[in-house]
Amino acid sequence: MPDPRKPGGGGQQGPPEQGWRWIGVAVIVVVVIAVVASSLLSSPPGASLNYSTFLADAAAHRVADATFNNTSGVITGHFANGSAFSTNGPVPAISGDISKLRAEGVHVGFAPPPNSLLSTILMYAIFGLIFGAIILWMNRRAQGQMSGIMSIGRSRAKVFATDRPRTTFADVAGYGGVKQEISEVVDFLKNPGRFKEIGARIPKGILLVGPPGTGKTLLARAVAGEAGVPFMSVSGSDFMEMFVGVGASRVRDLFQTARKQAPAIIFVDEIDSIGRKRGAGLGGGHDEREQTLNQMLSEMDGFDATEGIVMMAATNRPDILDPALLRPGRFDRQIVVPLPDLDERLPILKVHCRDKRIGTDVDLEVVARGTPGMSGADLANLVNEAALHAVRRGSASVEAKDFDAARDRVLMGQRRESLVLSDDEKLRVAYHEGGHAVLAYVLPHADPVHKVTILPTGMALGVTQQLPMEERHIYPIEYIEDSLCVRMGGRVAEMLIYGDLSTGAANDLVGNTELARKMVREYGMSDKVGPMAWGSQGMVFLGEDLMHSRDYSEDMSRVIDEEVSRILREQEGRAREYLTTNLEGLQALARALIEKETVDGAEVARLVDESRGRRSANGADTARTAIGGQVSTPGGELQAGGGTTPTEGPS
């Protein structure tokens, strides 16, 4: 078993690179020496002549003998005085020249020069060395493959020593309640004797539950950094392999390694990949996944709490986990890591702005107020987008307008500069978005308008942005009805101005129908249906609602459809009534949009109030603004924890 104290101790080690490097250098040196030595040893002895000089000496009777090599063309021999010579002749030798040499009394022979013994030995040594290197390489490769097969059941967890990770709770901004709840794990790992004296037992497993990007993995690393114990991190997908039984083997190896380093923390990220409900789904459960889950349940139930092993896991889908995984004795404590609220978004923004050059006009509190519903990852992306926008502008610091542009980029999408609308289309979009904006201003419970634009952005041809006056967690029926009415504003405005309809309201109608159906089926906001609720269909891959069966009758289905239709038609009527009353304001706003293309909330309020000659119907002041005066999170559905209901134009 590999040393668990080394990071990645469970991995496979290949052949050393240094050995192969020295072998290659040695082969190159031997080849160079052999080539040089062979050329030196094979060079013919004696003085070197050119061929014409050789023939002239032979004609003068100064050459005693000559030996021709028809392969290389080298001619060697001796002068009459006994000294040797060599020259290069044509290949093959010219028969006329040979006849002249013999006529002049030169003894002519034909024989290749003898190979030297050293060159022959070097030639065979080179071939032997190359052959041996190939055999060694093949042997090492085979050993690596065999060791890889034998170690396939080892855990792939990344092991961090006591000095890593260095993340602490100070690096996790916000989430004071979550850190307070999870600090018990740190106290147990640091001082387990305090818990033993009073008879308390620390939870064996802690499940971090929350939306993506809220910092669940960061919290787990902070726990390991605070406790100063080994931290073993593994993803749920690392247990899955094509061979049956490998996942269970890796689970066993993971816990064996953790026991050797106790006290320690085992962190499994995305545990829902192996912890789904057993015996569910199309065609039954997955054998490999179920074996892996069974082994994990057995290991968690088997080890004693005094061993000092704490298992942590993170998921954003706790509803699909197996009930046996969540029972007491296993993951018996669930810590919810929600989306940050206003007080938590400000310190998160400060953390992400530490390494940025922020301008003096940037108020991070205003930015935090204008980002309801954003997770920590969203805020980090927002700050980075603002920095990128500042670089594109050529600015030396990130200013407030960079944050505004980054919000528009993150929340609405990239502006489509290449899409050009005709004048008629642009005017229809202006009336469509103007209908949304006017209703958002005059309705008493609607979120205020922040910005209206007819510039194509993202998938929409125009966007009306709204922001809440305050962060909402509970939505009264008046607020939902006004949200439905605002979404109807674009459709109704087109009907009032043009007397016909277009495809521009498709996205608004989809969102309104879904929200109205939730009012009837889930929220109990229908007098005919009463205090009854039916949730949405279950997930087919979990074996729930495979045939999409309903637990209510056909008569109730008809009542639900009638109630949904009634709610939508009532809100359409309200939208028609309010827009008819404020028709001059709608026309003024449309003209302003055609001229400026983008109008803010204050300008919308001024145009509507000037057209009426007084304040709006709800008695609100024209300076009514949303929290922070910034952009909100787009979404077609009301969700707890803040957020708005922006209305998009034709798509």
pLDDT at 8: 41
Class of domain 342-412: mainly alpha
Task: From 498, 422, 413, select the one nearest 460 (Cα to Cα).
Answer: 413
Q: Are 239 and 292 in contact (CB under 8 A)?
A: yes
What are the start and end residues of each CATH 3.30.720.210 domain in the chain? 45-112
In 3-state terms, the chain is what percent helix, strand and coil (to 5)?
A: 50, 10, 35
What are the start and end residues of each CATH 3.40.50.300 domain in the chain? 158-336
Q: Which of 118-127, 582-591, 640-649 is the least confident region?
A: 640-649
- Per-residue pLDDT of 297-331, as tens digits, reads 777 776 555 466 778 888 888 878 878 888 877 88
What is the rounded end-to-end Cα distance, in angstroms, of the chain? 59
Average pLDDT over residues 184-204: 76
- Quickly list DSSP for 535-575: -----GGGTSSTT---SS-HHHHHHHHHHHHHHHHHHHHHH
What are the start and end residues of each CATH 1.20.58.760 domain in the chain? 423-648
Task: From 69, 151, 152, 144, select the one nearest 112 (Cα to Cα).
Answer: 69
CATH of domain 45-112: 3.30.720.210
147/355: higher pLDDT: 355
pLDDT exceeds 80 at position 188: no
**DSSP code of 499?**
S
Which of the four CATH numbers 3.40.50.300, 3.50.50.60, 1.10.10.10, 3.10.520.10 does domain 158-336 have?
3.40.50.300
- The torsion angle over the Cα atoms of residues 516, 517, 521 and 523, rounded to 10 degrees, is -30
pLDDT at 536: 59
What are the start and end residues of each CATH 1.10.8.60 domain in the chain? 342-412
- Per-residue pLDDT of 55-65, as tens digits, reads 887 888 888 88
Task: From 70, 80, 78, select the one nearest 45 (Cα to Cα).
Answer: 78
pTM over 0.85: no
Task: From 525, 547, 441, select the one nearest 481 (Cα to Cα).
Answer: 525
CA distance 646 to 651: 14
Question: Which amino acid is present at 90?
Answer: P
pLDDT at 422: 82
Instruction: Please indicate whether residue 603 is annotated as part of the active site.
Output: no
Which pLDDT band, with edges at 50, 70 and 90, does 16 fall under? very low
CATH of domain 423-648: 1.20.58.760
pLDDT at 56: 83
pLDDT at 621: 41
Q: Which of 130-134, 423-427, 555-559, 605-609 is the least confident region?
A: 130-134
- Per-residue pLDDT of 521-539, as tens digits, reads 999 999 898 888 887 554 4
- Is the backbone of residue 474 left (phi > 0), alpha (psi -120 to 50) or beta? beta
- Within 8 A by CB and 6+ apart from 382, the residues are 367, 371, 374, 403, 406, 407, 410
Distances (CA, A) of 265 to 206, 257, 274, 321: 11, 11, 19, 21
Which pLDDT band, with edges at 50, 70 and 90, does 626 fall under? very low
Q: Chain centroid to CA 163: how far? A: 27
The active-site residue, picked from 344, 399, 433, 481, is: 433
CA distance 12 to 50: 65
- Per-residue pLDDT of 218-248, as tens digits, reads 888 788 777 777 777 787 666 665 555 566 7
